[in-house]
Amino acid sequence: MSKKFYIKTFGCQMNFNDSERIRGILKTIGYEPTDNWQEADLIILNTCTIREKPDQKVLSHLGEYKKIKEKNPNALIAVAGCLAQRAGWELVNKAPVIDIMFSSFNMHQLPELINQAQAGYKAIAILEEPPEDEDKVWEYPVERDNPYCAYVTIIKGCDKNCTYCVVPRTRGRERSRSLESILDEVKRLVDDGVREIHLLGQNVTAWGKDFEKPIPFSELLYEVSKVPGVERIRFTTGHPRDLTDDIIEAMADIPQVCNALHLPFQAGSDRILALMDRGYTKEFYLERIAKLKEKVKDIALSTDVIVGFPTETEEDFEHTLDVLEKVKFEQVFSFKFSPRPGTPAAEMDGQVPDEVKTERMRRLLDLQKKIMSELAKRYERTIQEVLVEEEKNRELIGRTTTNKWASFKGDKSLLGKIVRIKVTKSSPFSLEGELVEVVK
Ligand code: SAH
Ligand code: SF4
Ligand code: F3S
């Protein structure tokens, strides 16, 4: 009987894509997935450590999963991802139940680590630097749940060093994946029925800068769009500082690039932006947005914001609200500042009390709620293109190119097709509509 694995993923889309790769690796060596951790021979937690909360979640899950060993003493528990990379042995000492540990640097070593653990050794493989052969990981397939939309990681790591952020520590320096390797995967995915390609990285707009002969990210967009069968392209996350005019022009020029962009601004005050070391001002950010809105018709924007960065005053915070009012994002992901071990911001004077963070967060959410209901009206009675992804309760569901969920009545044979719908009802998070025509 083949062995079973269960994987639990925390964190961002990159981590989800890493888990899809880990699933591919495990399948290659004969493991089968299970949705029930209690019947697994191998439990993997792919962890996140961006804020304090995800750290705590991992520990409480470990407390639960360790019961597996009572039933199945040979079962293995593995911890992967960013918390593993940051905390390493410190975490193993806290949770001795961990048998295997690795990170995004060395997922390709998993088969070896399983062998070591099965032989009774603790297989803790946390490396200072990514190993030279890390590109081997691309040779493994990914195992996806969504048949029509696929993530493709194009760049690992981050060189930006924002003062609050732990990612450069957990994912290392920027390493762009080669154009050839990316296009290879895109072709394989399209052959497998995928229609939407979502390029991923902590900082995708920096792709190609580290090559001997640098290639601009805009060039990659063109190359991906030329692969026959690629109907839609998205990319996450771009950094405002690297969002050059050629990228905006490529977005406008390439029909498959969706008219949506996630562009985190983090804070509206220039003083706070400087303390964060983001490398731009409020004015620079607003200018980039103005250019995007001018070139990419009806673009839907989303963003990340940190509330209560050290020394943030009421006046600073009002600049953040001002950016929300001016840009009118379709979606805002807002986080209370969380001090991360080893980051400069954690040591800064002037930490903001939690009550103040909570109060500012509430005001931010109130404002955003108002903006979202205003924006929702924009969709009423419009025609939208939707890629049909699933059938639920006898309705078809998919996303518009602006990344909004839309549902409508239609036949199952439309799964995987791009259709036009007329919007009959529009709310801040989703749309309802009627089928108008099948595009392709
Ligand atoms: N590379 C992306 C962000 C990745 S982390 C970028 O630069 O845009 C996702 C989001 O988590 C960040 O945009 C930020 O808003 C938030 N975040 C990161 N570190 C944080 C911290 N220490 N406290 C609170 N939020 C944080
Ligand atoms: Fe973190 Fe900044 Fe890099 Fe984003 S750009 S991952 S926030 S250091
Ligand atoms: Fe978390 Fe690592 Fe992503 S810290 S947000 S899983 S890069």
Sheet of strand 123-124: strand arrangement? 32-33, 4-9, 42-47, 76-80, 100-101, 123-124
Same domain, 196 and 316: yes
Are the C-beta atoms of 7 and 23 separated by less than 8 Å? yes
Q: Of 188, 147, 218, nearest to 390 (Cα)?
A: 147
User: Do residues 425 and 345 share a domain?
Assistant: no
Please compute, for residue 75, the number of CA atoms within 13 A of its CA located in the half-sphere on the CB side.
Answer: 22
- Residue 177 and residue 226 in one domain: yes
425 & 276 share domain: no
Ligand nearest to the CA of 11: 3
Q: 137 vs 32, 107, 125, 130, CA distance in Å?
A: 19, 7, 15, 12
Find where tokens 């060993």 sit: 69
User: What's the CA-to-centroid distance between 279 and ligand 1, angstroms?
Assistant: 15
Q: Which ranges of 4-139 does DSSP label H, i.e. alpha helix?
A: 13-28, 52-65, 68-71, 81-94, 110-118
Pair 61, 114 in one domain: yes
Question: Residue 29 falls within a domain, yes or no?
Answer: yes
340 lines ligand 1 (CB under 6 A): yes
Query: Whose Cα sits closest to atom 18 in ligand 1?
Result: 165
Query: Does 236 sit in the ligand 1 pocket, CB within 6 Å?
Result: no
Residue 287: domain span: 134-377
Report CA torsion sign: 187, 191, 195, 200: negative
| Residue 96 belongs to some domain of the structure | yes
Q: Is the CB of 225 under 6 A from ligand 1?
A: no
Q: Identify whether residues 366 and 387 lie together within a single domain.
A: no
Environment class of residue 154 by beta-carbon count within 10 Å: exposed (0-12), middle (13-18) or buried (19+)? buried
Nearest ligand, CA of residue 344? 1
- For the domain that residue 406 is a member of, what is the CATH number? 2.40.50.140
* Conformational region of residue 407, where left means phi above 0, alpha means psi within -120 to 50, and beta covers everything else: beta
Helices (H), 192-313: 217-225, 245-253, 270-276, 282-295
User: Is residue 360 a part of any domain in this protein?
Assistant: yes
Query: Does 129 map to a domain?
Result: no
**Pair 58, 10: CB distance under 8 Å:** yes
Report DSSP letters for 385-405, one per residue. Answer: EEEEEEEETTEEEEEETTS-E
The last residue of a domain, from among 124, 145, 162: 124
Residue 375 is which amino acid?
L
Q: Is residue 419 part of a domain?
A: yes
How buried is 217 (Cβ within 10 angstroms: 0-12 exposed, 13-18 middle, 19+ buried)?
buried
Instruction: Provide DSSP, 269-292.
Output: -HHHHHHHT-S--HHHHHHHHHHH
Residue type, 431: L
Digits of tens for pLDDT over the chain (440 positions)?
Answer: 789 999 999 999 999 999 999 999 999 999 999 999 999 999 999 999 999 988 889 999 999 999 999 989 999 999 999 999 999 999 999 999 999 999 999 999 999 999 999 999 999 999 999 999 999 999 999 999 999 999 999 999 999 999 999 999 999 999 999 999 999 999 999 999 999 999 999 999 999 999 999 999 999 999 999 999 999 999 999 999 999 999 999 999 999 999 999 999 999 999 999 999 999 999 999 999 999 999 998 999 999 999 999 999 999 999 999 999 999 999 999 999 999 999 999 999 999 999 999 999 999 999 999 999 999 999 999 999 999 999 998 899 999 999 999 999 999 999 999 999 999 999 988 999 999 999 98
Nearest CA to ligand 1 atom 3: 202
Tell me which residue has its CA closest to atom 8 in ligand 1.
264
Question: Are residue 153 and residue 282 in the same domain, yes or no?
Answer: yes
Of 223, 224, 288, whose CA–CA distance to 261 is shortest?
288
**Which protein residue's CA is at the shortest distance from atom 4 of ligand 1?**
202
Number of domains, the chain: 3
Whether residue 174 sits in one domain with residue 48: no
- The verdict on 163 and 203 lying in the same domain is yes
C-alpha–C-alpha distance, residues 161 and 396, integer Å: 43
Q: For residue 336, give both structure tokens.
A: 């209370």
The C-alpha atoms of residue 322 and residue 436 are separated, in whole angstroms, by 39
Residue 343 alpha carbon, nearest atom of ligand 1? 22
User: Could you tell me if residue 111 is inside a domain?
Assistant: yes
Question: Please, are residues 221 and 257 in contact by the beta-carbon 8 Å criterion?
Answer: yes
* Cα–Cα distance measured from residue 431 to residue 424, given in angstroms and rounded to the nearest whole number: 8
Ligand 2 probe mutation, 13, 155, 161, 337, most atoms within 8 A of CB: 161
The answer on 430 and 351 residing in a single domain is no
Pairing type for strands 175-176 and 155-156 reads antiparallel
Is 259 in the same domain as 402? Answer: no
Helix axes 179-191, 217-225, angle to 10 degrees: 30
CATH number, residue 307? 3.80.30.20
Looking at the structure, tell me whether residues 241 and 286 fall in a common domain.
yes
Q: Give the ligand whose atoms come closest to the C-alpha of residue 58.
A: 3
